[in-house]
Structure 1
Amino acid sequence: MAAQSSNARKDQDVWKHLWAMSVPTAVKNFAWRACHEVLPIRVNLKKRKIVEVATCPCYEAAEETLIHAIWACPAAQDVWGSHLSYFHKCSWVVLSFRELFAKGLQFFPREIVELMTVVAQHPDETYRGALKSLEVYRMCKQIEIIRQPSMEQVPHIAAWCPPPQGTVKINYDAALDTQQGYVGVEIVARDHMGISEPCPEIYGASKDYRVHGSSWSCHIQ
């Protein structure tokens, strides 16, 4: 029971750090699918009878399992060792991506684990390309945070300003329905006390117009 409880805590830590990564959502989804071994690598495709052989196309001496394609294949190791000094000649022997991700969390800073996950998603992408995509993503997130309005800000509400005494102020709005061929106008006429006045006479409407208090609509000819 103690071992099961320990494994459960480790899994919770993996999921917690995975979804908290400062990477695009697509990278998080990839990592989650990789941890559950549900990516379309050749071993899985052979099980579904989509391909006949599961041999790795880059290293024919082994089957293309997920951890082989991402980590153990000599071609993948060339990618990891080319620029990622943290992983250069790394001697980790892992059996799954979840184990690889957990080891990264154990030995490396969070930023390196995030970079590792981006490279794992696109093993053919160079280290500089992965680093650049992360920098652009984080820059956009910072701009988004800066642009978000403060919760303490009170929205500005425009107040109605009364006209001088002896005059009437007219406020109006209009909407066009192109499918039905109608235009509608809402008119509010108020004096300096804010008391509504009778709707002004409407000019320019066809004989198919209808007046309802302070609103009218007419058919477009």
Structure 2
Amino acid sequence: MDLVARVRQALSEQVIHPTEFERCACALLQARYPGLAAVEGGHDFGRDADIYLPFTDGSSDVDARGRLLVTTGDPVANLRNGLKRMREEGLRVDLVVVACSNAIDAKTRRAMHQLCEKQQLPAPEIYGQEWFASRLVYERAWRWNLLRIAAEPGALFDDPLEMLDDDAVTIPLVGREGSLEALTAEVRAGHDTVLVGVPGVGKTRLTTELDQHVV
């Protein structure tokens, strides 16, 4: 089992420590939300981090109007309770970001969208298990702290690491028809085949086009 599969399995099967996952979520989402600041202590009023957003009037001032909610449990219940608590405390909310260690299917996403819609808020920005799995492959320290997986990426994967990114764009394979035909024939014949080449020549990219994945 390669590193990507191990991380996915661990997120699905292990008991994830809520506080450690909260710290991990804040750290990994910092790149996407530069104004993110964790709310520490026991008075978070329903949210785990504030996200400082610029005012829409064109001024250079910012204010903490985005809210991050992190959970290792039910994301719908967490969002419902968080919105209720923030409303009771009179906190302004212009953006809701949800981070969850569990898989989030379409039904769950729809339920969270409806909760925000009822509060006249924009659709929540949601980061689930698959997003965290793709990031933890690169983040050795957080991978160890959260899952106790220390292995480095192996030489072969079912997909190149860059294709695991939610934002990645799949680029068509061009000019490798002959190589792909020969490799496909070898795989279908049940032969063991070793693909050799200098780093960066496109070995992993080529193998993703095979009918069967490499192991």
Pick the TM interval, shorter chain.
Answer: under 0.3
Question: Which has the higher Rg, Structure 1 or Structure 2?
Answer: 1
In proportion to residue count, which structure has more helix?
1
TM-score (norm 1): 0.23
Higher relative contact order (CA 8 A, sep 6+): 2
TM-score (norm 2): 0.24
